Amino acid sequence: MTDQSTPAVSSSPVPRQSGGGDSARAGVSRRRLLGTAGATGLVLGAAGAAAGYASAPAGATPLTSLGAGRAMFHGKHQPGITDPLQSCGHLIAFDLAAGAGRKEAAALLRRWSATAEHLMAGEPAPHGDTGVARDAGPSSLTLTFGFGRTFFDRTGLQGQRPAALDPLPDFSSDHLDKSRSEGDLWVQIGADDALVAFHALRAVQKDAGSAARVRWQMNGFNRSPGATAHPMTARNLMGQIDGTRNPKPSDADFNKRIFVPAAGEPAWMAGGSYAVVRRIRMLLDDWEKLSLTQQENVIGRRKADGAPLSGGTETTAMDLEKTGADGSYVIPVNAHARITRPDQNGGAAMVRRPFSYHDGFDADGAPDAGLLFICWQADPLRGFVPVQRKLDRGDALSQYIRHEASGLFAVPGGAAKGEYVGQRLLEG
């Protein structure tokens, strides 16, 4: 975890656009169907179920803003990087099946891209749609695809493997489960409706067919849009406002820090980014024994509003030199927020876009809960690694968290219309 927040991107819903010929083949979108339900009651009864995605009559009630939100599949960058945090998330990694190589991988990425394009538009999956999300709109669904280090060995593309995919160094807080780490292929799914998110997860898993098998899968959540009186930085399961200094797309150097430049290496990664994925368990039983003052000193910010202990509001710059009556720093030298500041790490920066998780309780009653940490940067050796090394050397938060799984993935740029994600790598 670091002291950075989600990019300030408008949360206004994007109107659904026509799907053209694809829409005609697939039927009417989930969004239009919900309008029909709002106007006329239950549409898919015994007869309607056979018709699948039914036509919406004129004057149908529109979706709420939550369901109408739509992210674009095609673009310079893949979705799910700068889009606002969604309330539901799934992370899933695959290994290519024995005997599957470059040809099978290309066919799989072609299937996945077609599925993502349809589902993100609020349309049924092109192959064997399950009907799980037929009542909902796009709900800000995003699907993001990446390649792990081992993918290049399995497909004979070792010469195209980026140097940035070199293994991450070991860290003192690592207690990694190898079976839940890394993978040939990685998919990030996010949506503001749990059924829409699961629908996408199931479609991706079904599309894998015999070409790839699931290596690991994790489920996450965030606060739902509209749950607070006004937009706020998210809180994590420790109750802290989690992340206040994320780079913003409006920053002059945002693209340089987060995305691989057009002239970067390798060429197929132009417009792409590197995702570091960490399952970070929070030792909540220990954390909750601390007093409010102790918790705030660990983080370096007030729990109520995220303001630095040196004063001001959440967005006020920290005064790292401010001292109290006893002469000690108001923000302790080992406070998490102090250590993770970019100006304390040679300017290292990354976009954090995490989900919280809860996977039940241990035999002793301790919750298996924490953060699915996902950060994005143009180069992990200049983003995640220097910050994590600094945390390793004395972060007060380290005794209350444990890194239990890890992955590093090359996420290529977005697909142009008519392309699939990764095509420049697999057909280059």
Indicate the domain borders of the chain: 20-426
Backbone φ and ψ for 128, nearest 5 degrees, come out as 60, 50
| 180 Rama sector, left if φ>0, alpha if ψ -120 to 50, beta otherwise | alpha
> For residue 12, which amino acid is it?
S
77: Cβ contacts below 8 Å, ≥ 6 apart: 259, 271, 272, 273, 413, 414
Catalytic residue IDs: 242
DSSP letter, residue 323: B
Give the residue from 103, 99, 119 showing the smallest Cα distance to 187: 119
pLDDT tens per residue across all 428 residues of the chain? 656 544 444 333 443 333 334 433 344 444 444 443 333 333 333 333 333 333 344 445 567 788 999 999 999 999 999 999 999 999 999 999 999 999 999 999 999 999 999 999 999 999 999 999 999 999 999 999 999 999 999 999 999 999 999 999 999 889 999 999 999 999 999 999 999 999 999 999 999 999 999 999 999 999 998 899 988 888 999 999 987 788 899 999 999 999 999 988 999 999 999 999 999 999 999 999 999 999 999 999 999 999 999 999 999 999 999 999 999 999 999 999 999 887 766 778 899 999 999 999 999 999 999 999 999 999 999 999 999 999 998 899 999 999 999 999 999 999 999 999 999 999 98
Contact 345, 337 (CB under 8 A): no
Specify the pTM.
0.86
Phi and psi (nearest 5°) for 212? -150, 155
Q: Which tokens belong to 182?
A: 């890394």
Say if CB 277 and CB 180 are below 8 A apart: no
Half-sphere exposure of 33 (CA within 13 A, CB side): 23
Task: Copy the structure tokens of residue 348.
Answer: 């290292």
